[in-house]
Amino acid sequence: MVDRLKGKTAIVFGAGSSEPGWGNGKAAAVAYAREGAQVACIDLVQGAAEETAAIITHEGGVALALAADVTNMNSIEIAVDRTIDAFGRIDILHNNVGVTHMGGPVELSEEQFRAALDLNIGPVYRSAKAVIPHMLRQGGGAIINISSLAAIRWTGYPYFAYYATKAAVNQATVALAMQYARSGIRANCIMPGLIDTPLIYRQISGQYSSVEDMVAARNAAVPLGRMGTAWDIAHAAVFLASDEARFITGICLPVDGGQSCAVSEFH
């Protein structure tokens, strides 16, 4: 710990993990705390938020656990207000919520497509609407949106809505960065490549004959020879949130083991 975020408050939407293990949001929340930030851990499931907050407090950090539905503006506003009540400010806004629905436009139901819009790009709008006024009053802040390599590349999976909505996250981040640059608010997004998190075993493994085949195929597709972990994403987020990145805004950073540079699937 080097306290790069000492005195700052982070609010992490999607701070819980859907299954045992380390998801991207859970790791980011803990990583922020390990660098000295107070962290509001927000998740749809109160218990998941509490689990992450408990890890932080057990390590000597300061955390608040809250349940919120990121598809509901009022729910987000309540979470933001409670964070302000507890900590007095919000310096880092981290958006981690997302969902995949397999299928192209022919296979997807309209309900699934609308759900992808609501869960992948909707929270970026709603959380920004709720948090940016506080950042403006403070004189600045940092926004970290978690996108995906799927925003800029065909990744081999037939999830039309995911590609479209993650591309929207990228450009929404650029729009935030440019609109609020003169106000001291930086906005950047991270594009994870193939990451070994609990989510892939629930949402992706059905595309393979077995879990073992999935892991082997995903490892082989990465030039570095292995999937990344949630900590790879968390460490990038800490850097982008810190003053070390004070001259960086509007970027969409691949954290992908080189996969975005490869012309074809690696073996």
d(CA 82, CA 72): 16
d(CA 245, CA 5): 12
Cα dihedral: 47, 51, 57, 58 (round 10) = 140
- For 165, residues 6+ apart whose C-beta sits below 8 A from its C-beta are 116, 117, 120, 121
Q: Of the candidates 95, 69, 90, which has an alpha carbon nearest to the alpha carbon of residue 80?
A: 90
Catalytic residue among 32, 159, 162, 163: 162
Q: Which tokens hold the place of 107?
A: 């296979």
The question of whether 162 is a catalytic residue gets the answer yes
253, β-bridge pairs = 190
What amino acid positions are annotated as catalytic residues? 162
